[in-house]
Amino acid sequence: MTSQNSLSAENTASSIELLDRDVSILAFNVRVLDWAKRPEVPLLERLRYLCIVSSNLDEFFEVRADLHMAAFRNGDTKGTYSIKTFENVFETARNLVSEQYGLYNDVLLPSLEKVGIRILSHGDRNAVQKKWVQDYFRREVKPLLVPVGLDPAHPFPQVANKSLNFIVQLSGKDAFGRSNDIAIVKIPRVLPRVIPLPSKVAGKEKAFVLLSSVMRAHLNELFPGREVGQFSQFRVTRNSDLSVDEEEVENLRTALRKGLQHRQYGQALRLEVSDSCSHHLSDFLLNQFNLPPVALFRAAGPVNLVRLSQLIDLVDDASLLFPSYQSSFPKQLNHGSSIFARIQQGDVLIHQPFESFDGVLAFLKEAVEDPNVLAIKQTIYRTGSDPAMMNLLREAVRRGKEVTAVVELKARFDEETNINWAEQLESVGAQVVYGVVGLKTHAKMLLVTRREGRVLKRYGHLSTGNYNPRTAKLYTDLSYLTCDARMTADMDTLFVHLASPSRLGRMNKLLAAPFLLQKKLVEKIEAVGAAAAKGLPARVVAKMNALTDPVLIHALISAGQQGAQIDLIVRGACMLPAGLPGQTDNIRVRSIIGRFLEHSRVFFFEAGDVQDIYLSSADWMTRNMTRRVELAWPVLDLPLRQRLIDECLLPYLHDTRNAWTLDADGKYRRFEKHGRKIQSAQALLMQKYSPSHSKAR
């Protein structure tokens, strides 16, 4: 292919219409919901997947719906966000919610009853159970409730994001002779949503009642002298994106803490009510929240399926859960042996959760306890509430080491946790910084400086995932330990840049966003396309969580049109329309949804006789390339490169159990096996690292 033809391919690539990002996000949740449908999946795990979908939908509306709603209100008919996209997204979400409740009512509840687990409605409860519930309501619930009757002196109350509430229509007059006929009852979040009945009341079964059912049965006790007519539980989802102008605020931490106080009361975007809610009451609520009718969702059950996850812990029946999986200690490390000494022999790769995060904690612990270690630098994005890593950093300060923590305060929904960690680290004397103004620090790196004789030697840890011991058991991620002088020098250069106003120095091996990462990835893809045009081996295999960056998408399309073979393993949103005849024939997109959340990012490029493999903290999204500090790093060690191919790429390309393929029409379909042996990438890896776990799914 001539350069003119290559240019033509680029022009054709840029003219292809990309898929809708938000519809693709919702399609991902369809794939998650599929796990709740599978009869071979343990029953409580099916319920867990149902709850995960609801949690994902909550976040979708909190983060993504505002732009569509704004376009609807503005009457926009063109552009990325318009009246059409608003209606399309809300209707797609509504269909998904309808499918959820159908599955909950018609499949999961009957299946739970078959194994002796019942969620009792008021009509299902016998006299003894009704008496117990009434006593529970009067003792535990009623004292916390303050019903608000609406009148000029009592306007519609502030309703917090995702909180449970009841709207009640009353007849008659109150004690002051007023005919206020609408009341609102806000349900405190401290109350459990799933309540177990004691065995003496439940009988042989494990019986539970939902708080919403308890409320429904005893609303009349809240309004003595009035008659309760129509009523409904309701829940509103609000825009929860914090907006802080970093250029204008003097103290980002203080500004974010103040912003958190208002997050619960952002712009309303979705209203959920009971499916039996009268149009009179639903219209009243829509008017109060200034929402159009299309934003109303009717729930054929509890309006917050997320909170049903409490049932899983309350039942606590191992036979209804996945067989327990115990991660193995990283095979390249040895208990009791020096990790520093091991890294000196060569780079170390840890494949989580098949290998445990304990290897990373052991590395930091050794650094803290080693008197020759002088300094520790670490980025903190989502560490969660587990104190293990923070305790180690505090202990390092106590032992006199220089500790620098780059804390990303703007990690969505983890802002408060990160603020608290930052304050605790500062209180013991650690140097805490918040990165670069206007950018989120999403890179995951830990750098240790150690005195060895007359020299200072650096040891680094890089990761595709967060420093979070809890999610490290649930997400697939890759940790990389190295003492490569150029790589660790690059890490130190980036730490200096994050902590000071200096420009980013020259990088030797690491690719950093928002500086060169996107540009270098495009160059790699273009090199593959050029090799294909010459008839040389040319292939891209990339595993990531999301693919939504138009620049990278068009580069992939162009390379594919030049003959390169491209396989993309994209867990979530993907805007690249694969398999379009004559346009993207050489590009295949598959999504793997399994027991663990796929989170690792692995990029393989083959251009002629040159093969490169990179690991990264970054998905191929515009925000990661232009508005975040991200890292990608090459893997040069040949055995580790082969291990990445054998564990992170090939099994996922050949997964026939949990794979979905993206078709030319933009829809995902379960992979058709056509007589092929059924295999699961995650199950193979679980068996590899824990041979005794023969029942892995």
What is the predicted pLDDT for the residue at 245?
46
**Domain spanning 513-689: CATH 3.40.50.1980:** no
Residue 628 has pLDDT above 80, yes or no: yes
What is the predicted pLDDT for the residue at 183?
93
What are the tens digits of pLDDT across the range 404-453? Answer: 988 887 656 567 777 888 888 888 888 988 877 778 889 999 999 999 99
Rounded CA gap, 70 and 77, in Å?
12
Do 618 and 630 contact (CB within 8 A), yes or no? yes
Rounded CA gap, 362 and 356, in Å?
11
Q: Band the pLDDT of 248: cuts 50, 70, 90.
A: very low
Torsion of CA 418, 421, 422, 428, to 10 degrees: 180
Rounded CA gap, 303 and 273, in Å?
7
What separation in angstroms does the CA of 597 have from each of 353, 476, 544, 601?
10, 6, 11, 12
What is the predicted pLDDT for the residue at 246?
47
**Residue intervals in the chain for CATH 3.30.870.10:** 339-509, 513-689
Catalytic residues: 442
Percent of the chain, pLDDT > 90?
Answer: 77
Rounded CA gap, 222 and 209, in Å?
20
Q: Which amino acid is at 654?
A: H
Tokens found for residue 179: 């005919």
Once rounded to an integer, what is the mean pLDDT over residues 478-492? 97
Q: Band the pLDDT of 36: cuts 50, 70, 90.
A: very high
Rounded CA gap, 90 and 83, in Å?
11
Residue 374 has pLDDT above 50, yes or no: yes
**Three-state secondary structure call for residue 560:** helix
> Any bridge partners for residue 299, and if so which?
274
Lowest mean pLDDT among 37-41, 181-185, 238-242: 238-242
Tokens found for residue 237: 């989802």
Q: Band the pLDDT of 697: cuts 50, 70, 90.
A: very low
What separation in angstroms does the CA of 694 have from each of 282, 325, 377, 678, 697?
52, 10, 40, 15, 9
Rounded CA gap, 184 and 213, in Å?
17
Q: Please provide residue 586's backbone torsions phi and psi, each rounded to the nearest 5 degrees.
A: -90, 5
What is the predicted pLDDT for the residue at 510?
97
Tokens found for residue 497: 């840049």
Residue 402 has pLDDT above 80, yes or no: yes
Do 396 and 425 contact (CB within 8 A), yes or no? no
Q: Band the pLDDT of 1: cuts 50, 70, 90.
A: very low
CA-based nearest residue to 695, from 683, 677, 685: 683
What are the tens digits of pLDDT across the range 289-314? Answer: 999 999 999 999 999 999 999 999 99
Neighbouring residues of 240: CB distance < 8 A, sequence distance ≥ 6? 62, 63, 161, 263, 266, 413
Instruction: Tell me the fold of 21-320.
Output: polyphosphate kinase like (3.30.1840)
Relative to beta strand 296-299, strand 268-274 is parallel
Lowest mean pLDDT among 11-15, 322-326, 582-586, 692-696: 692-696
Q: Which amino acid is at 264?
A: Q
What is the predicted pLDDT for the residue at 692?
61
Tokens found for residue 158: 């502030």
Owner of token pair 């509890």: 302
What integer best gives the mean pLDDT of the chain? 91
Q: Band the pLDDT of 258: cuts 50, 70, 90.
A: low
Neighbouring residues of 114: CB distance < 8 A, sequence distance ≥ 6? none
Specify the length of the chain in residues: 697
What is the predicted pLDDT for the residue at 153?
60
What are the tens digits of pLDDT across the range 488-507? Answer: 999 999 999 998 877 888 89
What are the tens digits of pLDDT across the range 265-275? Answer: 789 999 999 99
Rounded CA gap, 108 and 312, in Å?
13
Residue 146 has pLDDT above 60, yes or no: yes
What is the predicted pLDDT for the residue at 327?
92
**Domain spanning 339-509: CATH 3.40.50.970:** no
Rounded CA gap, 130 and 82, in Å?
50
Rounded CA gap, 605 and 539, in Å?
6
- Burial class for 315, CB neighbours closer than 10 Å (0-12, 13-18, 19+): buried
CA 45 to chain centre: 18
Axis-axis angle for helices 517-533, 3-15 (nearest 10): 120
- Buried/exposed 367-384: b ≥16 CB within 10 Å, e otherwise: bbebeebebbbbbbbbbb
**Residue intervals in the chain for CATH 3.30.1840.10:** 21-320
**How is residue 666 annotated by DSSP?**
S
Do 540 and 564 contact (CB within 8 A), yes or no? yes
What is the predicted pLDDT for the residue at 572?
96
Rounded CA gap, 231 and 235, in Å?
13
Once rounded to an integer, what is the mean pLDDT over residues 103-127? 96
- Buried/exposed 41-50: b ≥16 CB within 10 Å, e otherwise: bbbbbbbbbb
Rounded CA gap, 454 and 687, in Å?
46
Neighbouring residues of 423: CB distance < 8 A, sequence distance ≥ 6? 253
- Neighbour tally for 685: CB within 10 Å: 23
Rounded CA gap, 449 and 525, in Å?
36
In terms of DSSP H, where are the helices of 173-225? Answer: 199-202, 211-218
Once rounded to an integer, what is the mean pLDDT over residues 106-113? 97
Give pTM, 2 decimals. Answer: 0.91
CA-based nearest residue to 484, from 466, 451, 461, 513: 461
What are the tens digits of pLDDT across the range 178-232? Answer: 566 899 999 999 999 999 999 999 988 899 999 999 999 999 999 998 889 999 9
Once rounded to an integer, what is the mean pLDDT over residues 613-635? 96
CA 205 to chain centre: 35
